[in-house]
Amino acid sequence: MKVLAAMSGGVDSAVAAARAVDAGHDVVGVHLALSRMPGTLRTGSRGCCTIEDSMDAQRAANIIGIPYYVWDFSERFKLDVVDDFIAEYSAGRTPNPCMRCNERIKFAALLEKAIDLGFDAVATGHYATIVTDDAGGRELHRAAAWAKDQSYVLGVLTKEQLAHSMFPLGATPSKAEVRAEAAARGFSVATKPDSHDICFIPDGDTRGWLAERVGAEKGVILDRGGDTVGSHEGAHAFTVGQRKGLNLGVPSPDGRPRFVLEVRPSTNEVVVGPKEALDIAEIAGSSYSWAGNAPADASIPFECHVQIRAHADPVPAIAVVRPAVRQTQGTYSVPISGENEMVITPVEPLNGVAPGQTAVVYVGTRVLGQCTIHRTTSAVPVPVA
């Protein structure tokens, strides 16, 4: 096969490209220039896709002996990932930019361009596996090393995208083995630290970065009953589950700490309450997709596990697709005409789930699908005044 290897400049993608060559594929390496400031250098392990990473990727490609190119996707990245991140926070949601990057850049824009150029597949250094079922369909599964499993952030991939995806590291038992292999191959990135944090906010100051782009406007902090208990300098700075930095002027009646339960950007309000109110009995998302073949009839509730963060443990749940509804003050209105949503009910309440997060549904080790959470239902009813 003719394979395009996406090379970030890290150890995983370098070894993945080398393994694709070892498997007999015709491989070309490509680094995606995502930063609009190409002279930017990494700081430790913060960020990725900088000019330093590009040079690391080129050195690995030279050792492997494959052609290497840099493609400028900075404009697409700004529109589909950075601007989306700002818009989601402005709307009071908590987005996952890595999910959006995989969905819209690495496995949409990049894959589309690769296919147009005659490539059969795109290979990346993600830790996940693809299994072919008895009918020839492709399924996305967890990696062999659960500690490094990245199937969660790939949950947005569709059946069509899986047909052109390749993950050479999926069966690798550990990251240590990948680093040892990189060292044996002579890659300078063998000991390079993993990148972390949001790549376009390399200093890690998300609150300050958002303040510059969204702006800060004073507003009030309310309790669940609607009473004012404090003030804030900008609702965008708060996330569901946050405890620190609330600066509440009115203590809770029982003296217990309060947590952010909801962010309301339209009224610039933040709602706080007791920790138990963070327990979520149901989540739903109208923006959902299936990774591979969809269930025969998703309108029939089915058992699964749901994972709501990249490093969270999956929990047993029941999922179903049904007509979407609007939620107002804990009650449901008439179903939204012509629109469906994936509704997930965990066996035990989830904690601190925020709209904008991604819920990935598993059946065994298989990623069945995902949804972007647009509403949640607390397990603790709002007290009646």
Domains of the chain: 2-191 (3.40.50.620), 216-273 (2.30.30.280), 278-378 (2.40.30.10)
- Nearest by Cα to 150 from 357, 12, 348, 251: 12
CA-to-CA distance for 182 and 12, rounded, in angstroms? Answer: 9
For the stretch 276-307, pLDDT in tens is: 999 999 999 988 999 999 999 999 999 999 99
Active site residue 48: no
Show the tokens assigned to 374.
Answer: 């647009």
pLDDT (tens digit, 9 = 90+) per residue, 112-164? Answer: 999 999 999 999 999 999 999 888 889 999 998 877 899 999 999 999 999 99
Residues 6+ apart with CB under 8 A from 101: 77, 81
pLDDT of 47 higher than 70: no
Of 48, 49, 98, 101, catalytic: 101
Strands 121-123 and 2-6: parallel
Side chain identity at 164, as an amino acid letter? H
pLDDT of amino acid 196: 65
Rounded mean pLDDT of the chain?
88
pTM for the structure as a whole: 0.88
H-state helical runs in 36-148: 51-64, 74-77, 83-90, 97-101, 110-116
Distance of alpha carbon 215 from alpha carbon 166, whole angstroms: 41
Cβ atoms of 355 and 344 within 8 Å: the answer is no
Residue 315 has a CB neighbour count (10 Å cut-off) of 16
Place 49 in a pLDDT band, splitting at 50, 70 and 90.
low
Give how far Cα 280 sits from Cα of 103, 190, 299, 360, Å. 26, 42, 22, 16
Write out pLDDT tens, residues 236-275: 778 888 988 887 888 888 888 999 998 888 788 999 999 9
In this predicted model, what pLDDT tens digit does every residue of 96-111 receive, in sequence order? Answer: 888 889 889 988 899 9
Average the pLDDT over 187-216 and give the result.
81
Q: Which helix (H) or strand (E) holds 222?
A: strand 219-222
Q: Does residue 8 contact residue 29 with C-beta atoms inside 8 Å?
A: no
| Residues 285/306, Cβ–Cβ less than 8 Å | no
Q: Which of 321, 319, 323 is nearest to 332 (CA)?
A: 323
SS3 277: helix
Known catalytic membership, residue 49:
no
From the candidates 48, 199, 304, 371, which is the catalytic residue? 199
Place of tokens 């998302």: 285
Sign for the CA dihedral angle at 152, 158, 159, 165 comes to negative
CA Rg, the chain, in Å?
A: 22
Q: How far apart are CA 174 and CA 307, in angstroms?
A: 22
